[in-house]
Amino acid sequence: MSAAPLPLHGGPDGGPPVRHDFSSNASPWPAPAALAALRRADRRHYPDPGYQALREHLGAALGRAPQQLLVASGGAEAIRRLTLLARLRGVPEVWVPTPGFGDYAAAAQALALPLRRYAAVDEVAEGAAAGAWVWICDPCNPTGRGLSAADWATLDALQRQRGLQLALDLAYAPLRLDGEPACPTALRGRLWHLHCPNKALGLTGVRAALIEAPQEIAAAREWRDQALALAPSWVLSAEGVALLSAWVEADVTEYLAQLRTRLRALRQRQHRGLLRRGWRVEPSDCGFALWQPPQTALAPLLQALRGVGIKLRDAESLGAPGRVRISVQPVAAQRALWAALDAFKEQAR
């Protein structure tokens, strides 16, 4: 059997260093308190294999029982593990948003699970089999859009009627710049949640994530024990423990609110610059968004930018052909992008 290619991602790509990285959705600045916590991480000893103190700390902060919480070595690992769990529990099919993060589909395909893609929640309503596993990304990568109250009402009804397993990926929730999440409070306890705070904390090199199991499943222990059994021992490193622990502290929460204010101002500036150069943007609730350049051929443009250390994310592999995903970056990076785009246009004349 030939090996499946690795899913494509933004960020480092094995080429020369990326000086101005618009291709990853992560915050460009590491959160100072989280960075300080990482420096204090105890690397000399194994973490507690049950992560008891960490789960109690996170449970108290999030209003969840510690037994509902599972730690993971990143969202990507959690997606693989939850998909494997779904496969073992006999889930009939996996639904993934499109455009959407590629790892949901890659995980289902690696396990030969029937894969269904949805562009709108109504398609899930029309086609989902009883007990199907449904990934929801809110706000969604790569669009940056959140689900509407009507979408959530549909999912709520579907979950009750067909026993769907709804898995809500909150990777970009702390980076939402507009609007409020519309998930009904009553549904929250019936969802799987995935938190991947390394993006908002600007520390994606630290592999750490948190899974919340639905209340019913955590209480019955059946899925939870299996999910625990699927994780390697010490799945979360000492740095991972430090990152998750810091994420819910008051100073980090405050920092994240300031970060959003800063990103809103930078977004306005960056959008002006791109719109002035003839780019078109799709609606997004986040700093990152899908953009269409005035040129029709994307590849030469992206290649030219990469040649001068600037990276944008071709969104084709995310299900958005002809578009690029661009995150909001600091002023110096924006200036470098304007210079490179103007030079490319000049050369093309």
Which positions touch ligand PLP (CB under 6 A)? 74-76, 101, 137, 141, 169, 171, 196, 198, 204, 209
CA–CA distances in Å: residue 26 to residues 13, 199, 201, 269, 270? 16, 4, 8, 18, 16
Closest to ligand PLP by CB, 21 vs 169, is 169
Q: Which of 314, 310, 306, 269 is nearest to 290 (CA)?
A: 314
Q: Which of 348, 244, 260, 341 is nearest to 22 (CA)?
A: 341
Closest to ligand PLP by CB, 75 vs 146, is 75
Q: Which of 102, 171, 161, 159 is nearest to 134 (CA)?
A: 159
Minimum CB distance to ligand PLP, residue 43 (Å): 20
Closest to ligand PLP by CB, 83 vs 141, is 141
Minimum CB distance to ligand PLP, residue 172 (Å): 7
Asked whether 186 and 152 are in contact (CB, 8 A), the reply is: no
Minimum CB distance to ligand PLP, residue 103 (Å): 7
Minimum CB distance to ligand PLP, residue 98 (Å): 13
Per-residue burial over 255-270, b = 16 or more CB atoms within 10 Å of its CB, e = otherwise? bbeebbebbeebbeeb
Torsion of CA 11, 17, 20, 24, to 10 degrees: 0
Minimum CB distance to ligand PLP, residue 176 (Å): 13
Closest to ligand PLP by CB, 171 vs 266, is 171
Closest to ligand PLP by CB, 204 vs 270, is 204
